[in-house]
Structure 1
């Protein structure tokens, strides 16, 4: 269990610290030039999470679990601070105190939910209280299906309106993942009776097919943006960022499928 704790902690911190670092950059790019205090705060968080990412990469699977536990506590504190910063920015936008800024309210809420997810995962790891498999399958999918649906919406709104075909594809993915999210919420409300192996297995299979399709769409969009072959205001790093999150979701689904098959056997 100690080895699993170290490996799982490092995987989570390495993935999400990079995500938090990039959130800082994206928020900064959306502020107005006169928002110097917010820009400075975003730059500070970029530095903080870059340092956390570098430190996490210096650890190995053989690191003392007590060292990783203390590291998780430090990271948890940093994530709590960036979560509070994101919620503050959301409040400023919704009370019309940042007119003309370019951060969508939904995007700021989206990145704050990811921060909250990250800090909750760190707390669970340190307490050794991860959810039972049937609950984890439903809860993780509810979380990530919403994330994927919102990615599609952001892509649609950040593409140039003249990119009609890509905008249509993004809107179709948005609707598809909204429907998958509604189905996941139905399964959530029906638990524990809904938590049978056949139902959970079908749930994962269905989601996996859609996530793979969205992942491939994001990869194509990323490659086109990097090659300057389409018109958009999407930062190339943002295109890669949402692609990596889809890849991460697929890894989680694969883990669940493997665990479900082992449990069934």
Structure 2
């Protein structure tokens, strides 16, 4: 059974990563609707602001408690996050609360063996509210995707992107439910499941980038396309590892190498977007978003490599 300290640290580390991801999912969905579907825009905006509130609470609870490796990984914020938020607010007119990013930049990690019952209870309550809110977001995304696929709605988001962010939301809920049950994580089993999941996510990131670049960006297009193909292979290898036909150590090693490379590609791309050097229909916040997800996956891969 997971200790109280482990429960608090793991929950808060998960929130610092995923609550920001969820609020940005809400934002990406929000700005993709046409004027006809203003009610959907308003619903997405309301969800985004609710996630802002939960993230603000998670930040306060995390200071001096959360695992330092989480803060140092670049999955919470990067050197580009604040600028990406400001630029994206300028482009869209949606007010993104940058004070959350500044507060996260000041967070301190900690390695405590014991936590107070009050803190444990607050984290447990935060987990439950995050499960409820993220479940509402999943239901909203499911409705949007159903409408798009049945030609009842048009959105500027790819159907695959909506499905992609729905899978990430479901993973967040599943992990919170496991924490609420105080489930002890089996690192070996986790490696199989997480690598199959995140290699597919990295492949789809590459394909979204490829599809959102201006047709004149041939070199970036080809690089993104190559990453997509490479992570498709790695996804299949991870699935074979689950079936015990490929050793997981080989998949982890190959995934680590490829994820380091795509992380660098995403960092350069985010910087290029902020400096207006890349022709695309990619808002800078999307570049920073996928960069943070690569950083999150890298931290997991390094944990798996040590086991």
TM-score > 0.5, shorter chain as reference:
yes
Q: TM-score, normalised by structure 1?
A: 0.92
Separation of aligned partners in 2, 1:133 and 1:240? 28
Residues in 2 aligned to 1:186 and 1:200: alpha-carbon distance in whole angstroms: 9
Larger RCO, structures 1/2 (Cα 8 Å, 6+ apart): 2
> Partner residue of 1:263?
none
Distance of 2:248 and 2:166 partners within structure 1: 28
Q: What are the residue-to-residue correspondences of 1:70-85 with 2, within 5 Å?
A: 70-85=125-140
Cα contact 2:11–2:179 (8 A) shared by 1: yes
| Corresponding residue of 1:169 | 223
CA offset at residue 201 of structure 1?
Answer: 2.6
CA distance in 1, matches of 2:184, 2:145: 30
Equivalent pair of 2:192/2:242 in contact (CA under 8 Å) = yes
Which residue in 2 is equivalent to 1:36?
Answer: 38
Shift of 1:82: 0.4
Distance in 2 between residues matched to 1:66 and 1:53, nearest whole Å: 17
Q: 2:27, 2:130 → 1: CA distance?
A: 19
Query: Which has more helix, going by share of residues?
Result: 1
Q: Distance in 2 between matches of 1:203 and 1:14?
A: 27
Aligned-pair CA distance for 1:240: 0.5
2:10 equivalent to 1:8: yes
Question: Is 1:183 aligned to 2:237, yes or no?
Answer: yes
Provide the C-alpha distance between the structure 2 equivalents of 1:151 and 1:122, rounded to a whole number of angstroms.
Answer: 24
Matched position secondary structure for 2:260: helix
Task: Give me the whole-angstrom Cα distance separating, in 2, the residues matched to 1:68 and 1:56.
Answer: 8
Deviation digits for residues 190-240 of structure 1 (CA, Å, limit 9, x no counterpart): 28xx6xxxx333321111000000111111111111100010000000000
- Please list, as runs of the form range in 1=range in 2, the aligned pairs for 1:188-227 lying within 5 A after superposition: 188-190=242-244, 199-227=247-275
Q: Are 2:147 and 2:153, in contact at CA under 8 Å, matched by a contact in 1?
A: yes
1:149 matched to 2:197? The reply is: no
Q: Distance in 2 between matches of 1:17 and 1:109?
A: 18
Alignment partners' CA distance in 1, 2:131 and 2:244: 32
Unaligned runs of 5+ in 2: 66-114
Residue 123 of structure 1, aligned match among 156, 177, 194? 177
- Per-residue CA deviation, residues 165-195 of structure 1 (Å, 9 max, x unaligned), is 100100000000000001111111228xx6x
2:122 is aligned with 1:67: yes
Correspondence for 2:71: none
1:92 pairs with 2:147: yes
Aligned: 1:251 with 2:305: no
**Deviation at 1:130?**
4.2
Q: Which runs of 5+ in 1 are unaligned?
A: 261-265
**Quick one: distance in 2 between partners of 1:26 and 1:131?**
32
Q: Give the secondary-structure state (helix, strand or coil) at the position aligned to 2:31.
A: helix
Name which of structure 1's ranges 124-133 and 2-11 shifts more when overlaid on structure 2: 124-133
**Deviation at residue 67 of structure 1 after TM alignment:** 2.2
Cα offset, 1:137, TM superposition: 0.4
Counterpart position of 2:91:
none
TM-score by length of 2: 0.80
Q: Distance in 2 between matches of 1:203 and 1:165?
A: 28
SS at match of 1:128: coil
Moved over 3 A (4+): none
**Counterpart Cα distance in 1 of 2:52 and 2:218:** 37
